[in-house]
């Protein structure tokens, strides 16, 4: 993958991969270069103000920053970590603000300082002085006073959602769907830096995404359609088996990314097309293998998408489940009799996993559930589930179906 590691497959947008280096907190926290913290604070403001995706904004900004590799890694760690812990950091500083409403740049600096003090383990004198140094002169006294108070007091978390730094609804929903123990372990795991794995061909991809591609069981010479393919990690993995992959997506920007990845890693057997997965311009019963890695709430991928937990709302889960049903209804049409359909999402909500499977059982009795092949999957109804704490991957669900050989075909 090209620096800083290429593109991460995602279901709702094109996510750039930014690798956080394990252990870099201890190495970088004593840097006396103020530029790194200044860049980090500016990035935090832009993510909030412009609703920019950190996965896209951070590498783009760092590419032209002139910072050393060490400080680039430090900026990434500061931005990603502070975004993940945003709610917790707000709690830490709001206790000592007379008026919680402060200008966005000041809020970003306070969050940044609190993150260093409580979560990064930076010595108080270094965290406070370095953060104050990049603050505008008129607010340096405020930043200094608040951060010193944060350093002197225990966190005093009011509840688990604040401590874990998630919206209330995510903690409640995950607890309902997974049980309290697994939910809290999953949320804790997604507060840690994401790991990166490089495939033999050089593409950087989360291991759980590779496992999904494996479940398609694409074979040399086989026709495969990947309906929600951008930016192309699973499609190119399937093409590596010798299969011919039609990789589609709806947005023009996403298709450009898909085409670029297909050109580099598609082995000459990946065709990128612009198409709406819910009304695919493809022949009925024309493919022995169909993959739907559907747009989803992304609750299993918060390590890579640090700001996503603050963008998604609970109503969005149901909207996405409705979209998933529409796409799957179209996907069934494309599977040839005896062929395999694979459905996956990087989330763990019942609405987007088990409920979707129940809907398929009712609406498409010509689909027979087939157990996932990998031992890494937990049993999850008729499919499989991997939680972030299981194997240091994204949280992912997968379901496999074989279409009856007696299923009728349309022309």
Residues labelled catalytic: 346
SS3 assignment, position 313: coil
CA 380 to chain centre: 21
CB distance 261 to 7 below 8 Å: yes
Tokens encoding 243: 């299969």
Please return the burial class of 373, using the count of CB atoms within 10 Å of its CB with bins 0-12, 13-18 and 19+. Answer: middle
**DSSP states of 1-38:** --TTT-EE--SSS-EE--PPPTTHHHHHTT---HHHHH
Other C-beta atoms closer than 10 Å to the C-beta of 226 total 32
SS3 assignment, position 293: strand
Residue 158's alpha-carbon distances to 87, 88, 112, 165, 191, in angstroms, are: 12, 10, 21, 11, 18
């Amino acid at each position: 993958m090209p620096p800083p590691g290429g593109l991460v497959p995602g279901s709702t947008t094109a996510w750039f991969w930014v690798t956080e280096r394990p252990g870099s907190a201890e190495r970088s926290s004593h840097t006396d270069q103020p530029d790194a913290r200044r860049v980090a604070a500016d990035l935090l403001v832009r993510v909030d103000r412009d609703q920019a995706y950190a996965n896209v904004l951070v590498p783009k900004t760092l590419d032209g920053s002139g910072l050393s590799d060490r400080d680039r890694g430090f900026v990434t760690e500061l931005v990603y970590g502070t975004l993940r812990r945003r709610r917790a950091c707000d709690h830490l500083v709001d206790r000592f603000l007379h008026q919680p409403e402060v200008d966005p740049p000041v809020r970003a600096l306070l969050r940044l300082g609190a993150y260093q003090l409580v979560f990064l383990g930076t010595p108080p004198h270094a965290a406070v002085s370095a953060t104050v140094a990049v603050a505008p002169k008129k607010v340096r006294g405020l930043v200094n006073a608040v951060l010193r108070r944060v350093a002197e007091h225990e966190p005093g978390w009011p509840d688990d959602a604040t401590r874990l730094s998630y919206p209330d609804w995510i903690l409640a929903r995950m607890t309902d769907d997974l049980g309290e123990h697994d939910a809290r372990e999953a949320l804790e795991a997604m507060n840690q830096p994401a790991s990166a794995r490089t495939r033999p061909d050089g593409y950087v991809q989360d291991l759980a995404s590779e496992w999904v591609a494996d479940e398609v069981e694409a074979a040399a010479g086989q026709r495969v359609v990947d309906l929600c393919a951008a930016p192309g990690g699973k499609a190119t993995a399937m093409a590596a088996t010798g299969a011919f992959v039609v990789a589609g997506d709806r947005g023009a920007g996403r298709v450009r990314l898909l085409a670029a990845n297909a050109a580099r890693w598609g082995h000459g057997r990946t065709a990128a097309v612009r198409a709406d997965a819910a009304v695919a311009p493809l022949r009925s019963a024309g493919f022995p293998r169909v993959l739907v890695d559907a747009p989803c709430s992304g609750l299993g991928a918060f390590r890579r998408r640090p700001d996503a937990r603050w963008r998604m709302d609970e109503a969005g889960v149901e909207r996405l489940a409705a979209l998933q049903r529409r796409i799957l209804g179209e996907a069934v049409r494309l599977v040839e009799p005896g062929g395999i359909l694979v459905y996956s999402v990087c989330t763990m909500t019942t609405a987007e996993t088990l409920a979707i499977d129940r809907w398929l059982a009712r609406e498409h009795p010509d689909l027979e559930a087939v157990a996932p092949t990998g031992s890494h999957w937990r049993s999850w109804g008729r499919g499989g589930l991997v939680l972030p704490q299981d194997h240091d991957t994204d949280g992912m669900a997968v379901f496999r179906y074989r279409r009856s050989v007696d299923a009728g075909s349309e022309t």
